[in-house]
Chain A
Amino acid sequence: NAGVTQTPKFQVLKTGQSMTLQCAQDMNHNSMYWYRQDPGMGLRLIYYSASEGTTDKGEVPNGYNVSRLNKREFSLRLESAAPSQTSVYFCASQDPNQPQHFGDGTRLSIL
């Protein structure tokens, strides 16, 4: 009964380093999303994927890239991390007209 699994749960990076956040879902959902959550700002959409092989920008895509590797997996990459990207990152998946299911988040600090 895993649902949406995100790895790692915590990560500390230095400015300029790169890293990939992993997300996998086992509910056979078509749509997957990446959000960032910052204090006092709710969740903001970074990128989403409506189906395998497609990705689109959300509200705050700058500094990020994504890959929809297959139907299960949707990864988020920071090529050159900046302190402004310190945040909690959430992955979610969804079937049409159904609620989104969220992972437990990746807490990322960039020094």
Chain B
Amino acid sequence: TQLLEQSPQFLSIQEGENLTVYCNSSSVFSSLQWYRQEPGEGPVLLVTVVTGGEVKKLKRLTFQFGDARKDSSLHITAAQPGDTGLYLCAGPGSNTGKLIFGQGTTLQVKP
């Protein structure tokens, strides 16, 4: 069974701090996606990484796909209260092609 493990599960920081969220697996994924979910809403896709070693930037967010395509990270520079939310990584299962989700990282950024 393919699993995606996210760490940390909870993160509470002050505005302006940097942070990194990790998404790890013992299995190879063809791609990984990162979603952000706000309270009372569904997840919204932030980015998809496809190539091992790939780095994608979305304003203050930097996403990296591991060289072996078994892990990914999300780094936020100078976090703002608007970054508060649940961050989920997900990847297609090799057998079914259906998305497998990590358990999520809840981020709280205090002003």
| Chain A residues within CB distance 8 Å of chain B | 4, 33, 40-45, 48, 58, 90, 92, 99-100, 102-105
Contact = CB atoms under 8 A, between A and B. Distances in A.
A8 to B, nearest CB: 14
A105 B42 contact: yes
B103 A102 contact: no
A45 B43 CA distance: 14
Contact of A44 (B9, B42, B101): B101
A95 to B, nearest CB: 13
A20 B44 CA distance: 25
B48 interface: yes
A63 B29 CA distance: 30
Interface residues of B, number: 19
A104 B48 contact: no
Contacts of B59: none
Contacts of B102: 42
Given A40-B103, A42-B101, A42-B102, A102 B88 contact: no
A58 B44 contact: no
Contacts of A58: 98
Given A42-B102, A48-B98, A99 B42 contact: no
B111 interface: no
A43 B41 contact: no
Shortest beta-carbon contacts, A-B, top 4:
A102-B42, A42-B101, A99-B45, A43-B101
Interface in B1-24: 4, 6, 9
Contacts of B9: 40
A1 to B, nearest CB: 14
A45 B99 contact: yes
B33 A99 contact: yes
Contacts of B99: 43, 45, 100
Contacts of B40: 104-105
A105 B48 CA distance: 23
A104 B39 CA distance: 9
